[in-house]
Structure 1
Amino acid sequence: MAAVARLQWMWRWRLRAALCLPRGSPGLILGNPVSLRRGLSVSVLSYLAYEFYRKFCSDAVVYANDNVIRDQVLDKADYLYEAGETEKLYHFLQEYKQSDNVEILWRLARALRDLAMLSTTRAEDKKRLIYEALDYAQKALSIDAEHFAVHKWYAICISDVGDYEGTNTKIADSYVIKGHLQKAIELNPYDATSYHLMGLWCWSFASLSWFQRKMGAILFSTPPTSTYEEALQYFLKAEQGTEGSY
């Protein structure tokens, strides 16, 4: 009998601990099913409420820490970019290449593209970097299609890749480039770089020779067209822009 009583005491003690019952509480009355159910219900609800609170607080701390880390990464990335430290910026952002943060991804695409444009970069490395830059720009676009910088750098990267894809692809991509530059301007009408790039797009197609226009008409039913006047309007807006440089 003493052994049975001891086992019952141990069972009650372990159940009280599992359900977080306070020390000194009457606990659970094994011989009263109603009391048992009531005790279980109250204890389980209290436990669930505590777990929810603990999880909420934990998530809030993680979210706050993530924001701090993100801001620190972006601040350093912007500092290196403004300082012209292209290679250092590239190596720094490589540590975060698995990120799904759009702000990091478009900056990484820009860093890859800028590194490709350095005169010291070998030809084979330049091509690889340009295609890699487009990959990150595409990833950023798939995550957030309402970010002006994503559209701007996606357009730039597509234009760079077109240099390796041939004339037909470059002309076909010109529609895509124009669309993304216009979207960038729509999302941020104060970015000077987007206006300048749009001006360059218009200038390049306004400058096509008669022969190039005929070839474009053969390859495409409606090849891209523009005028010097349209290009000038974009360049003037770039001069009036308050953000960015070109």
Structure 2
Amino acid sequence: MREAKKITKAASLAPILYPLTGRADVGSLGGLALTAFWIALAIWSGLTLGVFLLSHRLKVVLRIVVTTLFFFSPVLWGGMILLREEVFDEQTVQVKETTQGPLKVAGATFPAGSTVWYDQTGSVFDQHVLSGRHTRRALREIHSPQPVSWGDVRITGLKFDEGSTAIDVDLDGDQVIDGWSCAVGGFGIDMGLTQDGPKLRSCWLSAPRQWHGRVVPAGANVSRVGDTDDWDWIPPD
């Protein structure tokens, strides 16, 4: 009964721990959050004092340890949740590797020594502790140290964008693709993979071409209209 009275008295003193807050502060979002924090802290401090009083039969050191753990338990619990999310929730990292043998990608065979970038998805625990054994991989980009034949096109690299069926192509020099003189320039050529092999979707022209009675100048960007054999073009700046 005496301990219960002490707890009741301690709880009644808890509001004293709450600082006075001006109406302007309470009216703002930050003021409301601060108000809620101090109210929660006052209540939790009262409960912590109650734990300290109820544990009077323990040794002083153990009593202090138990009370301290109780007071900081929300912080410890929140830290454990964040740690679990950081370590065990899935995340995607980019992994770079050099091929040890030939690798076939989208119908093109890249030689040993090619550089590959993967998007590797898995938890930190899977990525590092288990050395990627339980991760999923998606190939995003590959570069060859020498030209590679891809249908009738000579390339040095392919790049895949998530959520797109288009493939960015790094050409081995200017080339005529589907009748258009495409200019080399890093991943500036979009192609699609069909049953008949790779087909041009868009590129920048290195030379002019007659199209439907008009001259499409060099430097223009041409793009296929859907899956048809018709083309749109944008003149150079």
**Above 0.5 in TM-score?**
no
The TM-score normalised by the length of structure 2 is 0.27
Who wins on radius of gyration, i.e. which is larger? Answer: 2
Q: Which has the higher helix share?
A: 1
Q: Which has the higher strand share?
A: 2
